[in-house]
Amino acid sequence: MIKPHGADALNPLLVSDAAEHQALTEEAESLPSMLLSSAAAANAVMLGGGYFTPLDGYMNLDDALAVAKDMHTSSGLFWPVPVLNLTADIDGIENAKRIALRDPNVEGHPVIAVMTVSAIEKASDEQLDTITESVFGTLDSAHPGVNVFRNLGNHVVSGPIQVLNLSYFETDFPGTFKTAVDIRNEIKALGWSKVVAFQTRNPMHLAHEELCRMAMDRLGADGIVVHMLLGKLKAGDIPASVRDACIRKMVDVYFPQNTVMVNGYGFDMLYAGPREAVLHALFRQNMGATHLIVGRDHAGVGDFYGPFDAQTIFDEQVPEGALDIEIFKADHTAYSKKLNKVVMMREVEDHTPEDYVFLSGTKVREMLGNGIAPPPEFSRPEVAEILMNHYRSVA
């Protein structure tokens, strides 16, 4: 099986020993508390589940700047996006050596982790701008990831953590939310050696389904992990529970048994385009995938990135050997009316735009909201029905 990034074994920070967990829980009640941002809580979940192996906690300012500038920590570890715990308010924790980190996304703000504080540093606006522009490629506050990041605060609270729980993901998404440890164990149990990961924050329409088939067939893969983001998205995106239902229906009806795993992970979407694509590859390697599908505008938003910037970054900026996982580069896929099948557009000749079935996201939402199923060349009817029910419920 493919090795985790930068380590011989996964480094999940979730405390599994019952006695240690109990002792930490009791200790946390006597510690100064810090209410995390949703972004920092998501980082804790990813650290807890082993997805961010080999990290042992939140980065300090030097590491964050080094990662932003050249995708390496100050010690030389390849890493594409800073893993930070930023806050605007350090009242009560200024001189603390140990603190309890509280979950902003669960009622009552229970302790999600205990942290040994290595440093509390104040980042300048210039330093935060450097990180922002390097990671997101822009300082424009209209970018949803930039808007979130630049409102987290200037104080960098760094140090190793011990994770006590995985927030709301285990209870809200039972059977779907899985740690990197869980997925590695499932892959091993299935006997898969070549494994393709497909990242999604949307329901899968016919083109996505066929793209997964293309990747599996061309790579000779044993199976595919449809790995959906379960954390916070931007306004207007379809809720994770609806996406989960759509994807499971598609897999149940249209894929052979034991060829697809449907799982999810607890992270807030960054919309960081190329840099986030590299992060996606890194933690998919940690969960045991040998290949990641990177398609058009992977992890992008609006017009902030070129359509294939998330592919070229692997050729131009990721050093050779930095990651073991390989990238399956996909073109825009669409249904060809000439060939009566979904194709990668760069692979077919003698086609004009009129030869494809194209529907904008706005048009699809409008159709679904009006109880009209998109054409079968665009979406499976079973998937469209779930989406129509969702749009009717929120109308």
Domains, the chain, ranges and CATH? 18-167 (3.10.400.10), 174-265+271-394 (3.40.50.620)
Q: Which residue has the higher pLDDT, 2 or 241?
A: 2
- pLDDT tens-place string over residues 283-315: 999 999 999 999 999 999 999 999 999 999 999
Phi, psi angles (nearest 5°) of residue 225: -105, 110
- At residue 393 the predicted structure's pLDDT band, cuts being 50, 70 and 90, is confident
**287: nearest Cα among 276, 279, 295:** 279
Which residues are identified as catalytic? 201-202
- pLDDT tens-place string over residues 83-118: 999 999 999 999 999 999 999 999 999 999 999 999
Element housing 181 (H / E): helix 180-190
User: Which residue stretches of 232-371 are H helix?
Assistant: 240-254, 273-287, 309-316, 361-369
- By CB neighbour count within 10 A (0-12 exposed, 13-18 middle, 19+ buried), where does 126 fall? exposed
- pLDDT tens-place string over residues 192-206: 999 999 999 888 889
Q: What is the DSSP string of 142-161?
A: TSHHHHHHTTS-SEEEEEEE
Question: What's CA 23's distance to the chain center, in Å?
Answer: 32
- By CB neighbour count within 10 A (0-12 exposed, 13-18 middle, 19+ buried), where does 212 fall? buried
- So what's the pLDDT on residue 311? 98
* Mean pLDDT value across residues 168-176: 93
